[in-house]
Chain A
Amino acid sequence: MEKPTLPPQGVTTPSHRRRRVWGVVALPLAALALAGCTVPSFGAKAGPTETSRSTYHLWQGFSIGAAIVGALVIVLILWAVVRYRRRSDEIPPQSQYHLPMEWTYTIVPILIVFGLFAATIVVENQVVANPKTDVTINVNAFQWGWKFTYPGTDAFVVGQTTQNPTMVMPVDTNVHINLTSTDVIHGFYVRAFNFSRYALPGIKNQFTFHAVATGTFDGQCTQICGLYHSLMFFRIQVVTPAKYQSWLASFTDAAAARAAAKATGQQTSSVVPSKSTSSHGAQ
Chain B
Amino acid sequence: MVDVLERPGQVEEHGHEEHHGPTGLLKWLTSTDHKVIGLSYTITSVIMLVIGGAFAEIVRAQLTSPNGHVVSLAQYNELFTMHGSVMIYLFAGPFAFGALANFIVPIQIGAPDMAFPRLNALSYWLYLTGSITMLSGFFVAGGAANFGWVAYAPLSNSANTPGAGADLWIGALLLTGFSAIFTGVNLCATIFYLRAPGMTMFRMPIFTWNLLITAILILLAFPVLTAGLIMLYCDRHFGTHIYSVVGGGVPVLWQHIFWFWGHPEVYILAIPFFGMVTEIIAVFSRRPVFGYKGMIFATISIGALSLGVWAHHMFTTGVVLLPFFSIMSLLIAVPTGIKFFNWIGTMWRGQVWFSTAMLMALGFLATFLIGGLTGIYLASPPLDFFTHDTYFVVAHFHSVVMALVLAGFGGLYYWGPKITGYMLNEPLGKIQFWFLFIGTQVLTLPQYLLGLDGMPRRVAIYPNSPQWKTLNVWSSVGAVMIGVSTIIFVVNLVYSWKRYPAGDNPWDGQTLEWFTTSPPPHHNFYRLPQIRSERPTWDYNHPEHRSLAHGHHEEPVHEEVPVA
Contact = CB atoms under 8 A, between A and B. Distances in A.
B263 interface: no
Contacts of A202: 245, 250-251
A85 B454 CA distance: 43
Given A84-B349, A92-B349, A194-B386, A109 B252 contact: no
B389 A223 contact: yes
A44 B385 CA distance: 13
Interface stretch (A118-126, A168-176, A246-254, A273-281): A118-126
Interface residues of A, number: 81
Contacts of A97: 290-294, 549-550
Contact of A94 (B155, B288, B383): B288
A197 B463 CA distance: 21
Interface in B70-97: 73-74, 77
Interface string B441-480: 0000000110011101111111100000000000000000
Given A84-B352, A98-B345, A109 B323 contact: no
Contacts of A77: 344, 347, 362, 365-366
B461 A230 contact: yes
A200 interface: yes
A183 B152 contact: no
Contact of A198 (B317, B334, B449): B317
B387 to A, nearest CB: 8
Interface in A186-222: 187, 189, 191, 194-198, 200-203, 205-207, 218, 220-222
Interface stretch (A6-14, A51-59, A262-270): A51-59
A81 B548 contact: no
Interface string A228-243: 1111010000000000
B386 A117 contact: no
A80 B352 contact: yes
Interface-centre pick from B365, B382, B548 (highest chain A CB count, 10 A): B382
B98 interface: no
B347 to A, nearest CB: 4
A128 to B, nearest CB: 7
Contacts, number: 260
A62 B548 contact: no
Contact of B341 (A59, A105, A221): A105
Given A93-B349, A198-B317, A222-B388, A116 B458 contact: no
A106 B338 contact: yes
Contact of A127 (B252, B385, B549): B385
Given A92-B287, A230-B461, A187 B389 contact: yes
B376 A116 contact: yes
B369 interface: yes
B16 interface: no
A86 B284 CA distance: 9
Interface stretch (B125-133, B268-276, B325-333, B432-440): B325-333
Contacts of B550: 95-99
A230 B459 contact: yes
B250 A55 contact: no
A73 B318 contact: no
Contact of A117 (B330, B354, B542): B330
Contacts of B427: none
Contacts of A229: 77, 458-459
Contact of A196 (B290, B349, B389, B461): B389
Instruction: Report the contact-size class of chain B (Cβ under 8 Å from the partner).
Output: 35 or more
A142 to B, nearest CB: 12
B369 A70 contact: yes
Contact of A227 (B74, B376, B448): B74
Contact of A224 (B147, B362, B373): B147
Contacts of B77: 224, 226-227, 229
A263 B425 CA distance: 88
A124 B288 contact: no
Nearest to B245: A202
B349 A184 contact: no
Contact of A96 (B318, B352, B548): B548
B382 A127 contact: yes
Interface in B283-330: 285-294, 316-319, 322-323, 326-327, 330
Those 10 A-B pairs whose CB atoms lie nearest each other, nearest first = A191-B454, A202-B245, A222-B389, A230-B459, A80-B347, A222-B456, A194-B386, A43-B452, A205-B318, A98-B550
Given A43-B449, A86-B351, A201-B154, 17 more contacts: A59-B386, A70-B369, A86-B353, A91-B545, A96-B288, A96-B291, A98-B345, A105-B341, A109-B334, A120-B380, A185-B154, A189-B456, A194-B385, A197-B318, A200-B251, A203-B318, A224-B147
Interface of A: 43-44, 51, 54-55, 58-59, 62, 65-66, 69-70, 73-74, 76-77, 80-81, 84-99, 101-102, 105-106, 109-110, 113, 116-117, 120-121, 123-124, 127-128, 183-185, 187, 189, 191, 194-198, 200-203, 205-207, 218, 220-231, 233
21 contacts: A44-B386, A66-B373, A66-B377, A81-B354, A81-B362, A94-B545, A95-B549, A96-B548, A105-B341, A109-B338, A120-B380, A121-B323, A128-B381, A185-B154, A189-B388, A196-B389, A197-B316, A198-B318, A206-B318, A224-B152, A224-B458
